[in-house]
């Protein structure tokens, strides 16, 4: 169906980007054949990787692919978890490591305009230096701005301030025709026709290629406090959260996790989780404009927690203790990764999390799989690891018949997500690995409309084919 890349195409690419920014050797292409989804069965090699220097080069490459009917898959930091940047049909993979400039930090408008290849790792310190703050923190800081926009990433700090979508005010996009358009701008308000920008956010590189973004920033919170709250069981821990929300308190982050996973992650980082009581913990970050405010919020939260069977409340008031706790929480995935099959991100209304997690645990017991579950308790975004190994007696043991159980358990968990009024992805996207579940979570008309929209933007179906609903 698609044409293969031949020498003539490579030669034409060389007229657009320098030869050193074109990779064609098999061993160089390996890194671009997968993202962080762990199983090999979805990996697929591109025929060529190109690293354009600017939007004009992106445009020319897109035009070439369009003319020649060659699939083109844009790739950010490769930190995705569902194969969204895997070139299913080969062809061109485009990466943005040569497009990582911060073009402007505008302190009058509180915006940053950056190229899409900028990593979060480079973005955070640059804006901090200007005394500004970008709340979303999708975990892996090697992710790029283009990548987090393409998946509408979230992370732990989305409870109070929202996900990536809430912070994008403008994007420059190369359409499949090669045309460069500017959607949005430096505006807080925009009612000028259909929001193509919001359609592009979360479209996983299937409608256009993001080359630049304007991001709105805010002042950093003046005061922060991190609480770690142990419980005897996850159900009590999670049940506390709606009660906190009912007090009209929206913390910056509310995470739930099992002590076991915190300890594993701590080992991995050589850091110590501050509390070893109980078996299930909440990690709560509150922010405010004064010490008094934060203290008073922490006090109210503590009372609610203790009313819901918390064993104690541990408060981390120094930045370094806070940093350690967030690092350990953020690295659970990293610590478990070599031993897991997949991390899910089913999202349910926050009032349903406790029921959902209880049911996940019942599935774990019934199937004799290990399904450690943690996540963003105040925004309903639950991460369940489907594990291939189990941590027992200080060692990893391969789970018997994991390969036979994997798909059944996976389906059961998604069925539960549906039962508790959830969706199959809160922040990771659909990519390849969740395609099969999309149709059980969305009405068929919605998927038909998405297909129709795809055809309008990309009639030749060259952009990231084989993804979401394709």
Name, in order, each residue with C-beta under 8 angstroms of 171's C-beta and a sequence gap of 6 or more. 149, 182, 183, 184, 197, 200, 201, 210, 212, 213, 214
Residue 156, SS3 per DSSP: coil
Is residue 460 involved in binding a second copy (CB under 8 A)? no
Scanning 68-76, 155-163, 230-238, 261-269 for contacts with a second copy by CB under 8 A, the matching segment is: 155-163
Is residue 201 involved in binding a second copy (CB under 8 A)? yes
In the bound complex, what is the minimum distance in angstroms from residue 449's beta carbon to a second copy? 6
**Is-contact 244 301, C-beta < 8 A?**
yes
Continuous segment of H or E residues that includes residue 287: strand 280-288
Binding mask 245-264 for a second copy (x = CB under 8 A): xx-xxx--------------
Is residue 379 involved in binding a second copy (CB under 8 A)? yes
Structure tokens at 220: 């950093």
In the bound complex, what is the minimum distance in angstroms from residue 150's beta carbon to a second copy? 10
CB of 82 or CB of 228, closer to a second copy: 82
CA dist 121 and 104 (Å) reads 17
What does each C-alpha distance from 429 to 239, 347, 352, 357 come to in angstroms? 27, 12, 21, 21
Binding mask 166-185 for a second copy (x = CB under 8 A): x--------x-x-x-xxx-x
> What are 183-192's contacts with CB under 8 Å, separation 24+?
184/214, 185/214, 186/106, 186/109, 186/111, 186/214, 188/216
Query: What residues between 120 and 149 interact with a second copy by CB under 8 A?
Result: 131-132
Interface pick for a second copy out of 52, 426, 465, 466 (rule CB under 8 A):
426
Interface pick for a second copy out of 7, 191, 320, 392 (rule CB under 8 A):
191
**Is-contact 282 254, C-beta < 8 A?**
yes
- Give the residue from 377, 458, 409 showing the smallest Cα distance to 468: 458
CA dist 43 and 431 (Å) reads 12
Size of the site for a second copy (CB under 8 A): 90
In the bound complex, what is the minimum distance in angstroms from residue 152's beta carbon to a second copy? 5
CB of 126 or CB of 453, closer to a second copy: 453
CB of 164 or CB of 387, closer to a second copy: 164
Scanning 20-28, 63-71, 315-323, 349-357 for contacts with a second copy by CB under 8 A, the matching segment is: 349-357
In the bound complex, what is the minimum distance in angstroms from residue 63's beta carbon to a second copy? 14
Interface pick for a second copy out of 288, 372, 465, 466 (rule CB under 8 A):
288
Query: What residues between 304 and 333 interact with a second copy by CB under 8 A?
Result: none
Written in H, E and C, the secondary structure of 231-270 is ECCHHHHHHHHHHHHHCCCCCCEEEEEEHHHHHHHHHHHC
Interface pick for a second copy out of 6, 107, 407, 408 (rule CB under 8 A):
107
Report residue 25 CA to chain centroid gap.
30
Is residue 438 involved in binding a second copy (CB under 8 A)? yes
Binding mask 382-421 for a second copy (x = CB under 8 A): ---------------------------------------x
In the bound complex, what is the minimum distance in angstroms from residue 208's beta carbon to a second copy? 9
**Is-contact 355 404, C-beta < 8 A?**
no
Interface pick for a second copy out of 153, 171, 285, 344 (rule CB under 8 A):
153
Interface pick for a second copy out of 45, 124, 389, 469 (rule CB under 8 A):
469
Interface pick for a second copy out of 92, 120, 159, 280 (rule CB under 8 A):
159
What does each C-alpha distance from 66 to 9, 22, 59, 181, 431 come to in angstroms? 12, 18, 10, 17, 22
Query: What residues between 66 and 85 interact with a second copy by CB under 8 A?
Result: none
Is residue 300 involved in binding a second copy (CB under 8 A)? no
């Amino acid at each position: 169906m698609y044409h293969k890349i031949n020498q003539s195409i490579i030669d034409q690419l060389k007229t657009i980007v320098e030869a050193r920014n074109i990779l064609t050797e098999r061993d160089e292409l390996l890194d671009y054949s997968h993202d962080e989804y762990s199983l090999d069965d979805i990996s697929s090699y591109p025929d060529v990787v190109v690293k354009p220097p600017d939007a004009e080069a992106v445009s020319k490459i897109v035009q070439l692919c369009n003319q020649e009917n060659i699939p083109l898959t844009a790739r950010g930091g490769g930190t995705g978890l569902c194969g969204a940047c895997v070139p299913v049909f080969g062809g061109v993979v485009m990466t943005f490591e040569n497009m990582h400039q911060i073009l402007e930090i505008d302190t009058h408008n509180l915006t940053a305009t950056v190229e899409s290849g900028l990593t979060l790792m480079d973005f955070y310190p640059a804006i901090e230096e200007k005394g500004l703050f970008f709340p979303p923190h999708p975990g892996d800081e090697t992710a790029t701005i283009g990548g987090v926009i393409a998946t509408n990433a979230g992370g732990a700090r989305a409870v109070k301030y929202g996900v990536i979508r809430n912070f994008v005010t403008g994007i420059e996009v190369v359409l499949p025709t090669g045309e460069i358009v500017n959607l949005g701008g430096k505006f807080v308000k925009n009612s000028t026709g259909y929001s193509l920008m919001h359609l592009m956010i979360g479209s996983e590189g299937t409608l256009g290629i993001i080359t630049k973004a304007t991001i709105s920033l805010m002042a950093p919170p003046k005061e922060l406090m991190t609480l770690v709250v142990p419980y005897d069981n996850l159900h009590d821990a999670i049940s506390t959260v709606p009660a906190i929300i009912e007090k009209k308190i929206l913390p910056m982050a509310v995470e739930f996790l099992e002590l076991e996973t915190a300890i594993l992650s701590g080992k991995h980082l050589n850091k110590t989780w501050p509390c070893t009581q109980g078996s299930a913990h909440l990690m709560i970050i509150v922010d405010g404009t004064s010490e008094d405010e934060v203290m008073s919020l922490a006090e109210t939260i503590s009372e609610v927690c203790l009313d819901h069977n918390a064993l104690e409340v541990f408060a981390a008031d120094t930045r370094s203790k806070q940093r350690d706790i967030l690092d350990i929480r953020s690295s659970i995935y990293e610590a478990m990764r070599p031993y897991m099959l997949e991390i899910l991100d089913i999202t349910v209304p926050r009032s349903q999390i406790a029921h959902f997690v209880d049911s996940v645990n019942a599935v774990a017991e019934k199937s004799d799989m290990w399904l450690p579950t943690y996540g963003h308790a105040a925004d309903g975004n639950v991460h369940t690891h489907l594990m291939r190994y189990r941590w027992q007696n200080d060692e990893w043991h391969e789970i018997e018949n994991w390969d036979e159980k994997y798909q059944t358990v996976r389906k059961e968990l998604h069925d539960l997500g549906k039962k508790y009024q959830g969706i199959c992805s809160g922040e990771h996207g659909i990519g390849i690995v969740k395609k099969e579940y999309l149709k059980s979570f969305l009405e068929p008309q919605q998927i038909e409309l998405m297909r129709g929209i795809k055809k309008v933007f990309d009639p030749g179906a060259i952009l990231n084919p084989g993804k979401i609903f394709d």
